[in-house]
Amino acid sequence: MLDARVAHGRLFIPDDFLGLPRVAVLSHGAWQRVFSADPSIVGETITLSNMSVVVVGVLAESFRAPAELEGDQSDVFLPLDITLPELQQPNSYILEIVARLKPGISFSQAQEEMNALSVSLAEEFPDRYQDDDGSPAPISIISLQAALTGEIETPLLLLLGAVALLLAIACANVANLFLARGTDKVHEVGLRYAIGASRRRMMAQMITESMVISLTGGVLGVVIAVFGVRLFEALNPGGIPLAERIGIDLRVLGFALGISVLTGVLFGLAPALRAWRFDVNSALRDSSRRATGGRTRARLRNGLVVIEISMALVLLTTAGLLMNSFIRLQAVRSLRDLTVRGSR
């Protein structure tokens, strides 16, 4: 079900699940750390908690158990004896069940089936499957994503929104800078046209310049991100699932490249189109005509500034909501800890 594959040996077979564990399968990490990646360990006998078992396999490096996704370490896997008396007791909840939905069955349909099962169990065994108020004890299913993220999902989404807004503000700043730069180059473009430069060449030059600037910014952003991840690991905020796996990978580099190219093309396109439709005579006329164009471009820049300020206010509001969510989350956890300690 979890697509387990072995690098050496085999996985469990049905006969392994009868009686006390006689065999074991090692994780790839334990095989490397404890047994120095020796393939001859398959078939050897090791001792676990005063119990001798034979190593029959080593899992592939790509395999991840659900416990590992939640940050726990799984080194050795043993077959569970399905005839154990503890497993025959209806009120014994010692296992976490992991399952895949049947094709064509939605999450809500699966929960409805569990609800019907809880009702039938409550009717058949009321002393075991009924709550104090007489209602059926619920059987809840949750997705693996919900099990991993838990209460931290909402703050992470808020953080993602804050980052997206910050990125949008940075793009608006780049647009403003490109617009101002294009305004300053009006006279230069006019002179280039006057001495024989083609419109296609000028348009290509504008887009190339914007691409070089945006790609340079993307490279600097990746460098800052690398140091930011190291700072994040040093601060170790805690409570974030799989925080130890946060890093700069090909997906991050691909996103940085894509957003850099998109920014360069979009915000370099306006000066390039202006260069394509450029009128040499209008660029070399008297200052009054240039002053009129300057007022138009100034209104455009002022509009971008208004958008930037509006987005900054939204970002501040989102950051405040994020901080409020973290404070509430910490308060709920503290109250829960006090409740558990008090019950003990």
The rounded distance, in Å, linking the Cα atoms of 92 and 115 is 19
For every one of its 344 residues, what pLDDT tens digit does the chain have, with 9 covering 90 and above?
A: 888 999 999 999 999 998 888 999 999 989 999 999 999 999 999 998 888 999 999 999 888 887 777 667 789 999 988 888 877 776 667 777 888 888 999 988 999 999 999 888 888 888 778 887 888 888 888 887 777 776 677 777 777 777 777 777 777 777 777 766 666 666 666 666 666 666 677 777 777 888 888 888 888 988 988 888 888 777 766 666 666 677 888 888 888 888 888 887 877 776 666 655 555 555 555 444 444 445 665 666 676 667 767 766 776 676 667 667 666 655 665 555 444 444 44
pTM: predicted TM-score of the whole model, two decimal places: 0.55
Tokens 């490109």 belong to residue: 178
| Strand 76-77 relative to strand 23-26, pairing | antiparallel
Helices and strands (H, E) in the chain, number of each type: 12, 5
The rounded distance, in Å, linking the Cα atoms of 213 and 177 is 11
Cβ neighbourhood burial of 198 (10 Å; 0-12, 13-18, 19+): exposed
The three-class DSSP label of residue 137 is coil
Phi, psi of 77 (to 5 degrees): -115, 130
What residues does each domain of the chain span? 6-88, 107-141, 150-343
Q: Output the CA torsion sign for 155, 161, 165, 168.
A: positive
